Structure 1
Amino acid sequence: MQAEALIRHLLKEARTKEAWDVPLLETRFVVVDTETTGFNPNTDVLIAIGAIEMIGDQIVPARTYHSLIRPEPERMIPPVVVKLTGIRNEDVATAAELSKVLHEFLDFAKDAVLVMHHSSHDVRFLNAALWLKSRTHLTHRVIDTFDVAKWLRPSLNQYGLDELLATYQIPVEGRHTALGDARMTGQLWKLLIHESIEKGVSTLGDLYEQIVLSKR
């Protein structure tokens, strides 16, 4: 019950700061990536969370978070996921419990705007975990670098992380690890911020409006 209360408290705090009108270059972002046993949050589970902090377009090197997670409910990691991520069943067997990792991650994120690539996957799994442990969901604002890149570069054929890393000439290091992907997504977000500002977008609210308009 104490862990549930802490998670609820941290999520409540995440709603207290209004970021809509804050300039992008002054906004605190936390870039997040997760690793999971599969793609269905109803049957698969989180096995790792990685995150880095950014203030505007500046990555804060000393501010990172990463943890493996003991699968809850218990699941075996499929061989294809082991091969892709390098995370083995024996690695997570003694990893931190889900409640502890959620608490640590939310304490790291606080009221930051969360940045993810293909955010629906990560958000669905984070929400499934939060619902399991505390009957609540993320309250943070979320930016999806997929949507931002699609608005900025409508002529590209593909917007997967690998394709965008190649387009923006970002070195690939630690691909398919939660912290490695968070770091590379942070590098991508830094460049997307610059391009957004060049297009006249200065605040988070401006950016959301442009993304919505680009989908119409």
Structure 2
Amino acid sequence: MAFEPFMQLLRSVQKRRIGVGGSVQNSQQMAYLRHLQKEINKENAMLVPLQELNVVVFDIETTGFIPEKDSILSIGAIKMKGSRIIEEEQFYSLIYFDQTIPKDIVELTGITDDLVRSAPNIGDVMIKFFEFTQDATLVAHHASHERNFMQYFSNKVFKTPLKHRIVDTSFLYRIIESNFQNISLESLCEHNKIPIIDRHNALADAKMTAKIWSIYINKAIEIGCETLEDVYTHFAKLKY
């Protein structure tokens, strides 16, 4: 996949200030973006040795749980190669929101109306996030939340589905800790003696999730998993 042209495209699109209800003015650019999404080969990642797999661990904070009526307030992410966390490769952005953030969300995340009023809009942030991730496999804790929102806004903003593979941490930790089901990030961190710092900040949560991923990648390798395909095969054998 030719990512230098992709980066040039993203930078040109970014200048156009894409809003939630906006569109990319140049139809050829839109077509190219769709083409590049189609070119992401998710299957190749399944066969890459786990210690060589490039992933972006990410987290989002939102105003609620329903993409069709709620909004993304922030995205945080950090890159990894295998079990190694690449500390210098981080991404974080607040996202513009022109309504009143629910009080419980403000208390939970620390994100206030004033903070998001001057933030970039969802289209610009997603462009930068795609530039950051390139074709890496995405990882999130209890990923259905992230997947639902990212898919919804990819379709809404860019008129194209999100093609990145998003892997839920449960596929990894449950082949080691088969008694853990829907365990919270806090509990999983406590179990693995990972300090819980700045919970419900998207970047902080992504960093804690990355530490979880690192620990369980090594444990998965110890039980004979060489690739994500092996992880999925082990997971499929679990008894519910």
* Cα RMSD after superposing both structures: 2.0
TM-score (norm 1): 0.92
1:60 aligned residue (86, 106, 121): 86
Aligned length: 214
2:54 aligned residue (28, 32, 36): 28
Provide the C-alpha distance between the structure 1 equivalents of 2:42 and 2:173, rounded to a whole number of angstroms: 29
Counterpart position of 2:34: 8
Counterpart position of 2:73: 47
Identity, % of aligned pairs? 37
1:83 aligned residue (107, 110, 130): 107
Residues 1:154 and 1:84: Cα distance change in structure 2 (over 3 Å): same
Provide the C-alpha distance between the structure 2 equivalents of 1:161 and 1:149, rounded to a whole number of angstroms: 12
**Residues 17-46 of structure 1, C-alpha deviations (whole Å, 9 max, x = no match):** 721211000010100100000111111010
Provide the C-alpha distance between the structure 1 equivalents of 2:235 and 2:46, rounded to a whole number of angstroms: 14
- Structure 1 or 2, whichever has the larger Rg, is 2
TM-score (norm 2): 0.83
Residues 1:16 and 1:84: Cα distance change in structure 2 (over 3 Å): closer
3-state SS, counterpart of residue 91 of structure 2: strand
CA displacement at 1:16 relative to structure 2: 7.2
Q: State whether residues 174 and 181 of structure 2, in contact with CA within 8 Å, keep that contact through their aligned partners in structure 1.
A: no
Provide the C-alpha distance between the structure 1 equivalents of 2:209 and 2:113, rounded to a whole number of angstroms: 26
3-state SS, counterpart of residue 179 of structure 2: coil
Q: State whether residues 151 and 214 of structure 1, in contact with CA within 8 Å, keep that contact through their aligned partners in structure 2.
A: yes
Matches within 5 A, 1:1-216: 1-2=24-25, 5=30, 7-8=33-34, 11-15=37-41, 18-71=44-97, 74-156=98-180, 159-214=183-238
Unaligned runs of 5+ in 1: none
Q: State whether residues 7 and 106 of structure 1, in contact with CA within 8 Å, keep that contact through their aligned partners in structure 2.
A: no
